[in-house]
Structure 1
Amino acid sequence: MRCDLCETAMVQMYCDTCLINLCKACVGEHTFSDESKKHEILRFQKSTPFYPGCTSHDKKRCEMFCNQCHIPVCVTCVASNQHLGHELSKILEVLDKKKEKIMKEKNKLNETIFPVYQSIASEVQNRISQLEKEYGDLSTAITKHGEHWHREIDKLVQKLKADVEEMKTTQLHTLQKHLDEVNMKISDINDEIESADGALDSYDISTVLSVTPNVDQYKDLPQKIEPPSPKFSLGGIQDEELGKLFGSLSSISVQSEEHGYNIKTTQKSPEASPVIKQLLDQPQTVTTIHTEHRKLHNVTCLNDEEIWTCGDGSTMKLFSINRGSLLKSMRTKTGNSPQDIAMTNSGNLVYTDHWDSTVNIVKNEEIQTMIRLQNWKPLYVCSTSTGDLLVTMNSNDYKQSKIVRYSDSTETQTIQFDDQGRPLFSSTDNPYNFCPKYISENRNLDICVADSGARAVMVVNQAEKLRFRYTGHTPTPKNNLFRPRGITTDNQSHILTTDDKNHCVHIIDQDGQFLCYIDCRVNEPEGLCTDSKDNLFVAQYRNKQVKKIKYLQ
C-alpha cells in the first residue's frame, strides 16, 4: 500500500480525520494543507481497515455498503438522493460476512473437492502401473506360445507383439491424458485455495470483495476412464488359418463413465472413510538391530521383513528385521561409501556415490550406473509413487544446491529457486560439511527435504512452490537448536524427521503443524524410513543400531 499523497512511499501513518494513508515524510504536508481540521494522525497497522475510495466522490472513503446496488458508498453518497431508500450496511459487517463465505468455500475445496481429485489422480496412476504389468504379462505369454512353433511364424509373432504395443500405447496415452487433465484441475484448485488464503489474510476490502472462489466449476467431476484388461486367446491346431492356429488379440475400447467419480461429503458413511491411525501417547521400541557399520547413516525397507543399511565404508547390508541377522552384503562399485540408499517401486536398491558423481542401481546382484552427473555431486535420493527418482545434489564447488527428478535416467524436473529467484536450499563451500539434505515424497505428492544447513524442513509442492518451512518446536527434549537429518513420510501423510542434536524424531502433519516428539532413547538419530504398516525404523549414527518403533495405534 502506497502513500495517498506522494503515491510512491510505503504507508506508515494514517489520518483518521481525513481517512488518508500517509508516509512519514508526507505527514507534515498533509496537516498544514488544511489547518481548519484537527488531524488525528495514527500509526498504520496491518489490521487497520483500508476503506475503498469512492468512485463518485474524489478523496472520499466508503464506510457503508449499498445492499441494493452492491457497491461501497461514502457519506456523501448516502446524503445524496442516489441511494435514497436503499438498505445500507456498515462495510466492515459486509467484510466479515464476505470473509465468512470465502472461508466456507475454501473449506469445501480443502475438505471435499481437493481430496477427490487427489484420489482420482492416484487411481489413474495405479491403473497405468497395472496396465504396464498386464501388458508385460501379455507379451510374455505370446512369446512363450511362439516358441512352440516353427520359424515360419516368427513374423506373425512379431506382428501380434507390435499390435500389443500399439494397443498399450493407445490406452496409456488415453490414461496419461486423463491424468494430466486431473492434475491440471488440482493445480487450479490449489490456485483457488491460495487466492482464498490471500483474501482471508488481507485487510484490503477491495481485494477481499474481488475474490470469489468458484467451487461449482469443480463439482462436475471428470468422466471416469476405465480401459479394459488386455486378453490373448489361444488358437487350436485344428483351425485352418495360421492366424487362428496361433491365437488372436481381443479388440479393445476405452470406456468413459460420466459419473464414475463422486465427491464424498462429511455425511459419508463410516465404512467409506479412510482408515486413520492415531498417534500413541507413548511410542514403543519393538526391536533393535545391530549393524556393525563403523558409523550408521541410513536405513530403507526392502519389505516388512527386511531392511537395507549403509554407513561409513563401502558395504551396504541387508538384515532380517525379526531375527536381526545379516542376510546379504553388497559392496559399492567404486569402493566409496554410499552417500544414501533407497528402494525403487520394483524392489531394486539404489545408492548415490557422492565422490564418483553417480547414482547406481543393483539388479540381479549386479550394479549398473543409472545417472552420471557433470559439475554436480549427488547427495540423497528417494523413489516416488510414480517410480521416478528425486535426487538432492550440490554443485562441484558446493555453492549451489538443487533437487532433480529423473524418469529412468532422464532429467524431467529441476527445483532450485523460489518465485523471487532466491535459492530454496542451503549451500556451503566446505566439501566435508556439505549440509545433508535427506529427501522424501509425501502421499499428497509434496517433496520434503530435511535441510540440515538451513536447520529447517523444506516442503515444496509439484508446481515447485515452497509450501512451508518447519524450523522446529520448543521446548526441545535437550534444549538444543533444531538440526534435521533424515526424513520420511507415512500412510497418514505425516512427515517425520530426525533431530540429532536433541536425540529425537519430530512428527509434523502435511501442512507443517507440530504433532509430537518420539524419544524412545534414540541416540544421534540420522536416516529413517517407514514400512507398509507405519512402523518407524531409525538409524543411530554412533552406536550403529537400527530401532524399530511403533508410534501409531
Structure 2
Amino acid sequence: MDMKTTTTFIERTDYTWRPRCVYWSPSTGDLLVGMYNNVTKTGKATGKVTRYNQSGQLTQTIQNDNTGLGLYRYPNYITENNNGDVVVSDFDDMYGPGDVVVTERGGRHHFSYTGHPSGSVLKPRGICTDALSHILVCDYRTDTVQMLDSDGQFLSHLLIRPSGIFSPWSLSYDVNTHRLWVGSGANNTVVIYRYITRQDALTDEHRPCPDGDALSSSTPAVEWR
C-alpha cells in the first residue's frame, strides 16, 4: 500500500516454469499464479496453479486431477469464485480448443467446461466471476461472453456487439457498481455493461437473459476509444 515495500513471490532460476497470469484473493490475501512449462517430452505445454501467502511463501500447488492426469495446458487467465473455487481459462491454440478448469480451494477438480452445447469447441479468453457466483468467460470462437453457474452449468450467451463489431477478449466484474467491463481485441475498446442490479446482488437472485438476447440491449453502453 505504501508503494515502496516489495515482496518477491517467484524468482526464476531457469525457464522451466513461466508465470503467465495472477489473481489476488480478497478473501484470503493469497496470490494465485497460473504457470506453464514448455519443456515437456510431448512438446505440448503443461500447466499448474500455485498459491502464495502474503509473505511470498508457496502454500499450494494445483496440477493434477485425482487420477494423476494434468489439469492444465496453458493457464492464461485466473480468478476465484465466492466459494473459494479457483477458476482458470486454459487454452493453447497450437493444440486445439481450450476449456475452463475449476478446482475447489483445496485443489480437488470440480469440473471442466468445454463449451455449449456439449461437444462444441471453446476458445476461452478473459474470465471473471460476479456477486452471484456466476462464471463469465470470453469465447474467441463465437465472439460472445458465456455465463455459467458455479457448478459449470451453461446459463446463457451474453452477445456483446456494439456498433456491430466487437470481439470480447478480457473482462472484469466491478463488485462496487455490479458492472461488467469488457475489453475488445478487435477495436481497442472497453465497454461497460449492466446485466444484474444492486438488488439482484443483495437478494442473490438473477435470471439470465434468454440465449441470443444481446446484453447491450438492456442499458446503453459506455465506450472509450
The TM-score range, normalised by the shorter chain, is 0.7 to 0.9
| TM-score w.r.t. length of structure 1 | 0.31
Q: Quick check: which one's strand share is greater?
A: 2
Q: Please give the secondary structure, in 1, of the residue aligned with 2:10.
A: strand
| Displacement of 1:491 | 0.9
C-alpha separation in 1, matches of 2:186 and 2:161: 14
1:424 aligns with 2:71: yes
- In the alignment, which of 166, 171, 185 is matched to residue 528 of structure 1? 171
Correspondence for 2:60: 413
Instruction: Give the 5 Å matches for 1:252-291.
Output: none
1:400 aligns with 2:46: yes
CA RMSD of aligned residues (A): 2.2
Structure 2, gaps ≥5 residues long: 198-225
C-alpha separation in 2, matches of 1:367 and 1:547: 33
Inter-CA distance 403–436: structure 2 relative to 1 (3 Å threshold): closer
| Displacement of 1:436 | 4.8
Correspondence for 1:84: none
Q: Please give the secondary structure, in 2, of the residue aligned with 1:547.
A: strand
The residue type equivalent to 2:89 in the other structure is A
Cα displacement string for residues 62-94 of structure 1 (whole angstroms, at most 9, x for unaligned residues): xxxxxxxxxxxxxxxxxxxxxxxxxxxxxxxxx
Q: For the Cα contact (< 8 Å) 2:35–2:75, is it kept in 1?
A: no
- In the alignment, which of 125, 144, 149 is matched to residue 504 of structure 1? 144
Cα displacement string for residues 208-258 of structure 1 (whole angstroms, at most 9, x for unaligned residues): xxxxxxxxxxxxxxxxxxxxxxxxxxxxxxxxxxxxxxxxxxxxxxxxxxx
1:483 aligns with 2:127: no
Inter-CA distance 482–414: structure 2 relative to 1 (3 Å threshold): same
Correspondence for 1:466: 109
Q: For the Cα contact (< 8 Å) 1:501–1:524, is it kept in 2?
A: no
C-alpha separation in 2, matches of 1:542 and 1:366: 37
C-alpha separation in 1, matches of 2:45 and 2:179: 37
Structure 1, gaps ≥5 residues long: 1-347, 349-362, 427-434
C-alpha separation in 2, matches of 1:377 and 1:411: 15
| Displacement of 1:416 | 0.4
**Higher RCO (C-alpha 8 Å, min separation 6):** 2
Cα displacement string for residues 125-183 of structure 1 (whole angstroms, at most 9, x for unaligned residues): xxxxxxxxxxxxxxxxxxxxxxxxxxxxxxxxxxxxxxxxxxxxxxxxxxxxxxxxxxx
C-alpha separation in 1, matches of 2:116 and 2:178: 23
Correspondence for 2:218: none
Correspondence for 1:290: none
Q: For the Cα contact (< 8 Å) 2:161–2:167, is it kept in 1?
A: no
- In the alignment, which of 20, 24, 28 is matched to residue 383 of structure 1? 24
Inter-CA distance 493–413: structure 2 relative to 1 (3 Å threshold): same
Cα displacement string for residues 491-519 of structure 1 (whole angstroms, at most 9, x for unaligned residues): 10010000112111001110111111111
- In the alignment, which of 126, 132, 135 is matched to residue 495 of structure 1? 135
Correspondence for 2:85: 446
C-alpha separation in 2, matches of 1:459 and 1:483: 16
Give the number of aligned pairs. Answer: 180
C-alpha separation in 2, matches of 1:387 and 1:507: 26
Larger radius of gyration: 1
